[in-house]
Chains A and B, each alone.
Chain A
Amino acid sequence: MSEHNQVIDNLLTANELDLERLQQRLAGLYTGSIDYADIYLQHSRNESWVLEDGIVKSGSFHIETGLGVRALHEDKTGFAYADEITPVALEQAAAAARGIVTAGQANKIHFPTAVQGAPRYQGLDPLGSLDEAAKIALLREMDAYARSLDSRIVEVIASVSGSYDEVLVIATDGTLATDVRPLVRVNCTVLAEQNGRRERGSAGGGARVDYQYFFTNEQAGAEPRWQSYAKEAVRQALVNLEAQPAPAGTMPVVLGSGWPGVLLHEAVGHGLEGDFNRKGASAYSGKIGEQVASELCTIVDDGTLADRRGSLTVDDEGTPAGYNVLIEKGRLVGYMQDKMNARLMDVAPTGNGRRESYAHLPMPRMTNTYMLGGEASPEDIIRSVKRGVYAPQFAGGQVDITSGKFVFSASEAYLIEDGKITAPLKGATLIGNGPEAMRQVSMVGNDLALDSGVGVCGKDGQSVPVGVGQPTLKLDALTVGGTA
């Protein structure tokens, strides 16, 4: 059975529904001044196992099944959902969602047969890809391995989690799409102690694959990924044991490749989401065609990367994910759009319409956001700094899209003195203004890397998995929130 038919079987047939019934319901919604309506059905299963104190303390399993019905009129949205998939729940949700406008003439809907985007991952069920005993064994091995690396490691928390998600979206614009989305994640957090001082290190990774991923690595023959996470967590904790207070003030900052791309996510990404720009609420509103970053910067949002955490075959409105250039050589060329904001701004949807679940409304969201590589070698970038900060690891960030101010917190950082990396620094928050910071980018490395697959993005209370990435970057001036 094809993946598409399997989703229809699980979400519709098993619940006494069929495509015809959904089409009838949509036709009932699509009257009067309603511009667009869609029905979203979802079934997901997820599990998580956690080891602490050397034992697997907890395991949990969660099932979520439901449907959401949305009706749009210009920029108005009516939305209702139910935590079950039944004919009655569908009728009730549709009636409630429709409440935003009064009845009128029926509009004409065209329903083509299913159109699928090119698959960006396999529709695997990760939960069953490893038996329970093997998941437990993986956690135990990770614990033992991390402790074996250094006697100063006093605690290890290891976790493995996976989810399997089936979605179906059908809309009045002729969309009928299904997607099967696997997602797995392994994480290792350690606590190191030395002379009464305790510091933490944490690392992990994941992708839209099954659990076998963690037993392999990019290069054949290299240590398995779970080992590299444990090693990295231990390394960070040990570095932090030696860390000194970070300096305070404005100075050159060099960001490492990979996960520090969270800078782009906060400083640029959110400000380029279509909803904020349609509303004129973003620091980047009305700036298409303008130079908003140094000409060394080309930034894309790319949902098409194979198996990546932020990738999507189709978004939650059934639009195939895209490779969207946001900033090209410093010039703003496009926003990320869902269907509603695209229609209201008279542009095409970009495959960025995402929702946390059937119980949430779609919004323009990022997928994998990264900066393309440049020409400088990372060593030359460090060498060019007289006194500044080198930050290869970050904890997370936040942005005020209207003023453009963003923060992100370094979890591993070093002082740069006379072109050399010297003392490790305690974690500090870095703050800047998005457009201003991007103009300060003066060197771009030739070492583009994507993060290991751990990103979670929050917006309006909705969390979705995302990816970030960048080459090593130098910003001439950024404010570092230290105490020294």
Chain B
Amino acid sequence: MKPEIAELQTELAEVKQAVADALAYGKKLGASAMECALTRSRGISVETRLGEVETVEFNKDGALGITLYKGQQKGSASTTDLSAQAIRASVEKALEIARYTSPDPFAGLAPAELMARDVPELDLCHPGDQSADYALAQALQCERHALALDERIVNSDGASYSSHVGYRVYGNSHGFLDGYLQSRHALSCSLIGKQGEAMQRDYAYTVARATADLESPEHVAEQAAHETLARLGARKINTAKVPVIFRADIANTLFGHFVGAISGGNLYRKSSFLLDKLGEVVLPDWLTIKETPHLSGALASSPFDHEGIATSDRVIVDKGVLQSYLLTSYAARKMQMTPTGHAGGIHTWQVSQSDQSLADLCRTMGTGLLVTELMGQGVNLVNGDYSRGAAGFWVENGEIQYPVEEITIAGNLQDMLRTIVAIGNDTDLRHGVRTGSVLLESMHVAGN
């Protein structure tokens, strides 16, 4: 039961027509500018637990968002109902709202000349089998394999498999109207291990645009079991200042805060610890970050941003020096700069790496903390203060000694980013920021 590309193309064409109609209706009502966006997906999500089916869920999600400008006044409305009647009602509602908002000199669409013209085919849609039988077989195979691996795995929080296809459409009153198909499939497994009275839970997952690019159910099972077992016997450590490694699967969060700090919204609100740092050193001089939005088949690829601006390759940081902010057209107008095609977020960042494996990084660190899990939201982008719950492993003489839990790690992001010692070659491809494990000079660990 695989959705047909031709069928999806037909639906995409219908939705584009609905957006065109909405834009025409807005124009008729006197909107001076208008934009419409819709991301829709449908598919299946299943969960199994202890070798049995737990949930079979058929998904269909997505709302049409309409933003309309009356001069410099802006109103928004959205609807999940795509009938002509509901869309017209939403356009009218957006127009009514625009009567009440204040004129904002910076409001409006992105400049017409930046709209994507030749939208590249990025190979983002590979429908998979969406039958309950197939989905359940993937989850069951994974979970059963995991449960048989070690007797300390005493329980399961379940395995899940999901497969979705859909499309993204964006149109505005510059005449831009385009869309593309996309797909996403994922398999995950979460296990519970027990040692004495203490239980630990951990998980593993694989995600890709094509089912052929997913890791095997057995691989996910083995990784989940490995992670869970490794946490058994975790203890607290003493309060100290030590070097820290963020393992690759969570290291993207560090650059995620960096993304927040160089995003227009935080900059024009003067709410970033990286204010006025364009052209200045923000990372070590060996570190470069490149954005590659057109990487074929990548999860974070996109031919145009949420304002229709063509995306393109871009150097974000060159040898430690910040080369670009991330600006929507609104932020760009406020800051008297040019929009960068980042409405809706970033598109596949490649962070430079060394040839060191994670084991090599541990040896470089010598004695310190390897962090594999972070908890809580203790990050203040205004001043860069960072304090989060953590779990991981204590490392001595380059070797993992024992698992660690119930500690916090704290520092200031500005210093943390500038004092990155090395980045490993164990790049995690599942995130929009592709980075290996990151070794930091030192952080405050709070424990006993």
A: which residues have CB within 8 A of B?
A: 49, 52-53, 55-66, 75-84, 93, 96-97, 99-100, 132-133, 135-136, 154-155, 191, 193, 197-200, 246, 248-250, 279-281, 283, 359, 361, 395-398, 400, 402-403, 405-409, 426-433, 479-483
A200 to B409, CA, bound (A): 22
* B88-127 near A? 1/0 per residue, CB < 8 Å: 0110011011111111100100000000000000000000
Q: Does B10 contact A (CB under 8 A)?
A: no
Query: Which residues on the A side are within 8 Å of B446 (C-beta)?
Result: 248-250, 431, 479-482
Beyond A250-B239, A405-B375, A409-B377, 15 additional contacts (C-beta under 8 Å) are A52-B269, A56-B102, A57-B101, A58-B74, A60-B97, A62-B79, A64-B63, A75-B49, A83-B61, A280-B192, A403-B405, A407-B378, A407-B388, A427-B378, A429-B389
Residue from A396, A402, A409, A430 within 8 A of B201 (CB atoms): A402
Q: Contact check, A250 vs B448: say whether CB atoms are below 8 A apart.
A: yes
Q: Contact check, A427 vs B385: say whether CB atoms are below 8 A apart.
A: yes
Query: Which residues on the B side are within 8 Å of A395 (C-beta)?
Result: 377-378
Q: Contact check, A481 vs B410: say whether CB atoms are below 8 A apart.
A: yes
11 contacts between A and B (CB under 8 A): A53-B104, A57-B104, A96-B58, A154-B270, A200-B380, A281-B192, A400-B375, A402-B201, A429-B410, A432-B406, A481-B410
What range describes how many residues of B lie at the interface? Answer: 35 or more
Q: Does B78 contact A (CB under 8 A)?
A: yes
Query: Which residues on the B side are within 8 Å of A64 (C-beta)?
Result: 63, 80
Query: Which residues on the B side are within 8 Å of A53 (C-beta)?
Result: 104
Q: Contact check, B76 vs A428: say whether CB atoms are below 8 A apart.
A: no
Nearest-neighbor residue (CB-CB) of B63 within chain A: A62
Q: Contact check, A60 vs B380: say whether CB atoms are below 8 A apart.
A: no
Query: Which residues on the B side are within 8 Å of A403 (C-beta)?
Result: 198-201, 231, 234, 405
Q: Contact check, B76 vs A132: say whether CB atoms are below 8 A apart.
A: no
Q: Does B391 contact A (CB under 8 A)?
A: yes
* B247-266 near A? 1/0 per residue, CB < 8 Å: 00000000000000000000
Q: Does B183 contact A (CB under 8 A)?
A: no
Residue from B52, B74, B198, B447 within 8 A of A479 (CB atoms): B447
Interface residues of B in 49-97 (CB under 8 A from A): 49, 52-61, 63, 74-81, 83, 86, 89-90, 93-94, 96-97
Give the shortest distance, in Å, between A132 (CB) and chain B (any CB): 4
B: which residues have CB within 8 A of A?
A: 49, 52-61, 63, 74-81, 83, 86, 89-90, 93-94, 96-104, 107, 132, 155, 157, 192, 198-201, 231, 234, 236, 239, 269-271, 375-378, 380, 382-383, 385, 387-389, 391, 405-412, 444-448
Query: Which residues on the B side are within 8 Å of A97 (C-beta)?
Result: 58
Query: Which residues on the A side are within 8 Å of B192 (C-beta)?
Result: 280-281, 402
A121 to B96, CA, bound (A): 30
Q: Is the interface of A mostly helix, strand, loop or mixed?
A: strand
Residue from A132, A200, A281 within 8 A of B271 (CB atoms): A200
Give the shortest distance, in Å, between B56 (CB) and chain A (any CB): 5
A243 to B268, CA, bound (A): 24
Residue from A49, A61, A154 with most neighbouring chain B CB atoms (10 Å): A61
Give the shortest distance, in Å, between A63 (CB) and chain B (any CB): 5
Query: Which residues on the A side are within 8 Å of B49 (C-beta)?
Result: 75, 279
Q: Contact check, B78 vs A481: say whether CB atoms are below 8 A apart.
A: no
Q: Contact check, A191 vs B382: say whether CB atoms are below 8 A apart.
A: yes
Q: Contact check, B444 vs A431: say whether CB atoms are below 8 A apart.
A: no
Query: Which residues on the A side are within 8 Å of B198 (C-beta)?
Result: 403
Q: Contact check, A248 vs B410: say whether CB atoms are below 8 A apart.
A: yes
Query: Which residues on the B side are within 8 Å of A60 (C-beta)?
Result: 75-78, 97
Give the shortest distance, in Å, between A464 (CB) and chain B (any CB): 18
A226 to B440, CA, bound (A): 44
A60 to B377, CA, bound (A): 27
- The 7 A-B residue pairs whose C-beta atoms are closest, nearest first, are A481-B408, A407-B389, A407-B376, A402-B201, A55-B102, A429-B378, A60-B76
Q: Contact check, B444 vs A248: say whether CB atoms are below 8 A apart.
A: yes
Residue from A59, A199, A397, A426 within 8 A of B101 (CB atoms): A59
Query: Which residues on the B side are within 8 Å of A408 (C-beta)?
Result: 376
Give the shortest distance, in Å, between A379 (CB) and chain B (any CB): 28
Q: Contact check, B270 vs A198: say whether CB atoms are below 8 A apart.
A: yes
Give the shortest distance, in Å, between B228 (CB) and chain A (any CB): 10
Give the shortest distance, in Å, between B44 (CB) and chain A (any CB): 9
Q: Contact check, B157 vs A281: say whether CB atoms are below 8 A apart.
A: yes
Residue from B58, B76, B86, B387 within 8 A of A427 (CB atoms): B387
Residue from B74, B90, B383 within 8 A of A197 (CB atoms): B383
Q: Contact check, B56 vs A99: say whether CB atoms are below 8 A apart.
A: yes
